[in-house]
Amino acid sequence: MQGIKDKIRTIPDYPKPGIMFRDITTLLQDARGFRKTIDEMVQPFAGTRIDKVVGIEARGFILGGAIAHQLSIGFVPVRKRGKLPHKTLAQEYQLEYGTDSMEIHIDAINEGEQILLVDDLIATGGTAEAAIKLIRHYKGNVIGGSFIVDLPELGGRKRLEALGVRVLALAEFDGH
């Protein structure tokens, strides 16, 4: 069987020139590859108490939902501003040009809960850091961040590790 990295399609110059987009849809449509990915995203945390999975919009919803199902625990979405229907807390983060913000429902995380943060890719770590700040605001403990792809030259892993978060990435790619 091919490795996970081999099942990820690279699309040059998307969404803009110079960017090498790592498209996980080719991995997700492969039943065995998808199952292996979920298993490998969870396995390093075996034996660790996890109360909820927090998934970052949008591909983190797919992965996080599957992981939460496998662990028989709850799932919490972190979304872009204005997408959640109940009262929320927002956290701004830096983009290449400007800022954006992520939101979480005010009743999504309880004090002391052990949280696994999930997304498809870690680049600069800005969105993941915003999600961590939201979780920590409610005194949740982020026990780790689980990602499929890491772009190490952009420094996201180091940024999260500096926050004390254990980071797992299944595949590393060079370039944007």
HSE-up (13 A, CA, CB side) for residue 156: 29
Scanning the structure block, which residue is given the tokens 């039943």? 31
Instruction: Indicate if 57 belongs to the active site.
Output: no
Sign of CA dihedral 107, 110, 111, 113: negative
Scanning the structure block, which residue is given the tokens 């254990």? 166
Active-site residue, selected from the candidate residues 9, 35, 49, 59: 59
Instruction: Indicate if 59 belongs to the active site.
Output: yes
Active-site residue, selected from the candidate residues 40, 49, 92, 96: 96
Q: Beta strand 88-95 with 98-105: parallel, antiparallel or unpaired?
A: antiparallel
> How many angstroms separate the CA atoms of 35 and 66, rounded?
9
Residues known to be catalytic: 59, 96
